[in-house]
Amino acid sequence: MKILLIAPASGRWKKIGGSGLFRGKAFRFSLLSLLSVAAETPPDVEIRIVDEQVDDIPWEEDFDLVGITCMTAVAQRAYEISAQFRKKGVPVVLGGMHPTFCSEEAMLHADAVVMEDAEGIWPRVLEDAAKGRLQGIYKNESPPSLKGLKQPPRRLLKGKNYGTIQAVQATRGCANSCDFCSVAAFHHQSQRYRPVEEVRDEVAAMPENFFIFVDDNLTADKNYARDLFHALIPLKKKWITQSTLAVAEDPDFVKLAAEAGCIGLFVGLETFSGDNLDAVHKTCHRVDQYREAIRLLHSNGIGIEAGIVFGFDNDTPEVFRYTLDMLDNLEVDIIQVSIFTPLPGTSRYRTMDGRILDRDYSHYDFHNVVFRPQRMKREDLQAGHDWVTREFYRPWRIARRLLRHIRRPGGLRTLLYPIALNVAYYGRVVRWNIKGYDPAKRKDGVTQRKPGNASAAASGTRRAVPLPAGNAE
Ligand code: B12
Ligand code: SF4
């Protein structure tokens, strides 16, 4: 049997490029979704993986089965690819977040859908496919254990096209219940753990010194994380991951993470408004603790990439300048700016009735406004998101951040990480011609309302830092 596994790409990501930093290489990592499916495939099955960000689909080649991984943003593209293979008589299986959340819709475009994890169920799908009897929707009765996971066959990827293919997962899911988050919805607000020694062995076997934990909240269970960190120390590797700022509640814990090789954390700060955090049930963060937490991480040589979201219901046109000031002021190293996107399957999506203006999934990539914002115009949300992205990645700001980085503990040793990401984001601004404008500024350059006092807000003790009232559409 010969199978093709595809990671589709949509919009500006399609065939974005190969090995150049300016072509998004630093943002491409893992493909663990498909590598995990490949790991579950019996050894006598021939597997080929195609990543549409860098590869062409081998339409002319013969395959017995096609498996496609699918986030919402690439759903339409996945359906197009599926239709072409099915026309040739090749059965197609869809898996991943979107087919899990919208399984009936996905079934209209495939011969089978795998909901949730592939482990435990994928061998059955292959058996049924071999007999020509695919059964529609497949789902484990309960989430499979993460004990004894097989090693992902990373050799199936062309390493030079990726920031790193050394991606590992120690935990799956997150027990928090932020209402916009697909991870919370997909994993039913729970987290599962791999045995520490299995994670350690996988990391130890990787040939390079740097790797990524693709976990969504690696440090949620501090006892588990402590055991993991102790196990990693002797390996002397460097790594980055995602967590919440709860990581910084305990200075000894942060020190241990640094000793274990942590050099960077992606943290979804999302917003500098406590009201926004409350409204989306992000209870694990307090805006008034951002400054101390970031300082503590920095003083241990851990950089911070902040996830920032614009378009929450309390956001007004002043939010953009205010956020940029805060990011500068708190010395955040890197940002990933997103526009709030109501993703099918999340609990927030179910509250958006009547406000969704665009159902083209390819626009659900966190960089397009697909809904009617509450307190600003739709075009202002787009423009403000673009403007903050461009301003934050101005070459002078990048240079200032890198200089600051060098002066921190271990700064020189870890400089490659912020350089790679800042250059990659700058490359994206240039390639995608991101411009925008500050929606709070009038054409004559006067700010309509005074932006919030960034430094006072960030160092204050209140949980909610209200933003100034603004224009409703
Ligand atoms: C690594 C990653 C990427 C990588 C690689 C993606 C890939 N397909 O492997 C890259 C950089 C390419 C990427 C890109 C994007 N990403 Co991304 N990404 C992730 C991240 C951090 C980890 C994915 C991962 O490796 N998980 C580990 C594996 C083991 O778990 P898994 O993916 O769930 O796979 C299991 C099951 O779902 C299932 N399964 C999955 N696919 C398939 C396929 C088949 C055939 C079968 C049978 C089973 C199956 O089996 C697997 C093993 O059990 C996730 C966060 C997350 N928790 O998923 C976000 C995430 C998937 N990304 C997301 C988004 C939004 C994007 C972008 C659209 C935009 C952006 N701003 O980044 C772009 C896509 C751009 C485009 N338009 O083409 C969202 C998706 C939300 C949604 N509901 O659709 C997530 C959830 C982040 C988030 N917190 O919101 N991403
Ligand atoms: S803490 Fe992060 S991963 Fe967890 S539910 Fe909230 S947004 Fe999702």
Q: Encode 313-324 in three state secondary structure.
A: CCCCCCHHHHHH
Q: From 175, 185, 91, 172, select the one nearest 132 (Cα to Cα).
A: 91
Helices (H) and strands (E) in the chain, counts: 16, 14
Note whether 344 and 373 are within 8 A (CB): no
Q: Using the predicted structure, report yes or no on whether residue 457 has a pLDDT greater than 60.
A: no
Three-state DSSP at 66 gives strand
Q: In this structure, which amino acid lies at residue 453?
A: N
Ligand nearest to the CA of 27: 1
Q: Which atom of ligand 2 is nearest to the CA of 284?
A: 1
Nearest CA to ligand 1 atom 47: 95
Question: Which protein residues are within 6 Å of ligand 2, measured from CB?
Answer: 174, 176, 178, 181, 183-184, 216-217, 244, 268, 282, 284
The pLDDT tens digits of the residues spanning 330-389 come to 999 999 999 999 999 999 999 998 999 999 999 999 999 999 999 999 999 999 999 999
pLDDT at position 466, please?
A: 42
Helices (H), 270-339: 274-279, 290-299, 319-329
Q: From 465, 97, 449, select the one nearest 269 (Cα to Cα).
A: 465
Q: State the Cα–Cα distance between residues 52 and 8, nearest whole angstrom.
A: 5
The proportion of the chain whose per-residue pLDDT surpasses 90, expressed as a percent, equals 84
Catalogue the long-range contacts made by 283-286 (C-beta closer than 8 Å, 24 or more residues apart).
Answer: 283/176, 283/177, 284/176, 284/244, 284/245, 284/246, 285/244, 285/245, 286/463
pLDDT grade for 467, boundaries at 50, 70 and 90: very low
CA of 243 to the centre of ligand 2 (A): 8
The pLDDT tens digits of the residues spanning 265-282 come to 999 999 999 999 999 999
pLDDT at position 413, please?
A: 87
User: Rounded to 5 degrees, what are φ and ψ at 400?
Assistant: -60, -40
Q: Which atom of ligand 2 is nearest to the CA of 270?
A: 7
pLDDT grade for 22, boundaries at 50, 70 and 90: low
CA of 176 to the centre of ligand 2 (A): 6
Q: Using the predicted structure, report yes or no on whether residue 418 has a pLDDT greater than 60.
A: yes
Instruction: Pick 372 or 442 by higher pLDDT.
Output: 372
Instruction: Pick 161 or 472 by higher pLDDT.
Output: 161
* Strands of 387-465, DSSP E: none
Q: Render 242-276 in DSSP notation, one character per residue.
A: EE-GGGGG-HHHHHHHHHTTEEEEEEEEE-S-HHH
Q: Which atom of ligand 1 is nearest to the CA of 93?
A: 45
Q: Using the predicted structure, report yes or no on whether residue 264 has a pLDDT greater than 50.
A: yes
Nearest CA to ligand 1 atom 63: 71
Q: Using the predicted structure, report yes or no on whether residue 25 has a pLDDT greater than 70.
A: yes
Q: From 13, 51, 52, select the one nearest 165 (Cα to Cα).
A: 51
Ligand 2 binding pocket mutation candidate from 181, 219, 267, 277 (most atoms within 8 A of CB): 181
Q: State the Cα–Cα distance between residues 299 and 337, nearest whole angstrom.
A: 25
CA of 125 to the centre of ligand 2 (A): 31
Q: Using the predicted structure, report yes or no on whether residue 460 has a pLDDT greater than 50.
A: no
Nearest CA to ligand 1 atom 34: 33
Ligand 2 binding pocket mutation candidate from 97, 172, 178, 265 (most atoms within 8 A of CB): 178
Q: Using the predicted structure, report yes or no on whether residue 469 has a pLDDT greater than 50.
A: no
Ligand nearest to the CA of 165: 1
Q: Which atom of ligand 2 is nearest to the CA of 181?
A: 8
Ligand nearest to the CA of 268: 2
Mean pLDDT of 70-95: 98
Ligand nearest to the CA of 217: 2
* Strands of 169-217, DSSP E: 171-173, 191-193, 210-213
The two three-digit tokens of residue 383, written as one number: 């423009």
pLDDT grade for 163, boundaries at 50, 70 and 90: confident
The two three-digit tokens of residue 239, written as one number: 């790594």
Q: Is the pTM of this model over 0.75?
A: yes
The pLDDT tens digits of the residues spanning 420-436 come to 999 999 999 998 999 99
Sorted by sequence, the CB contacts under 8 Å of residue 265 that are 6+ apart come out as 240, 241, 242, 243, 247, 297, 302, 303, 304, 305
Q: Using the predicted structure, report yes or no on whether residue 465 has a pLDDT greater than 50.
A: no
pLDDT at position 451, please?
A: 43
Q: Using the predicted structure, report yes or no on whether residue 252 has a pLDDT greater than 50.
A: yes
CA of 283 to the centre of ligand 2 (A): 10
Pairing of strands 303-310, 210-213: unpaired
Q: State the Cα–Cα distance between residues 373 and 381, nearest whole angstrom.
A: 8
pLDDT at position 410, please?
A: 86
pLDDT at position 48, please?
A: 97
CA of 200 to the centre of ligand 2 (A): 25
Mean pLDDT of 122-129: 98
Nearest CA to ligand 2 atom 1: 176
The two three-digit tokens of residue 112, written as one number: 């089978």
Q: Which atom of ligand 1 is nearest to the CA of 345?
A: 83
pLDDT at position 91, please?
A: 98
Q: From 276, 268, 250, select the one nearest 304 (Cα to Cα).
A: 268
CA of 71 to the centre of ligand 1 (A): 6
Domains and CATH numbers, the chain: 2-139 (3.40.50.280), 166-459 (3.80.30.20)
Ligand nearest to the CA of 281: 2
CA of 177 to the centre of ligand 2 (A): 7
* Buried/exposed code over 359-379 (b: 16+ C-beta within 10 A; e: otherwise): eebbbbbbbbbbbebebbbbe
DSSP summary character for residue 65? E
pLDDT at position 15, please?
A: 65
Question: Which protein residues are within 6 Å of ligand 1, measured from CB?
Answer: 7, 9-11, 13, 27-33, 36-37, 67-69, 71-74, 93, 95-98, 114, 117-119, 122, 169, 182-183, 214, 216, 343, 365-366
Q: Using the predicted structure, report yes or no on whether residue 468 has a pLDDT greater than 50.
A: no
Compute the 3-state secondary structure of the chain and give helix, strand, coil in percent, each to the nearest 5. Answer: 40, 15, 45
pLDDT at position 196, please?
A: 98
The pLDDT tens digits of the residues spanning 446-455 come to 555 544 433 3
pLDDT grade for 212, boundaries at 50, 70 and 90: very high
Mean pLDDT of 238-244: 97
Of 23-27, 87-91, 92-96, the least confident: 23-27
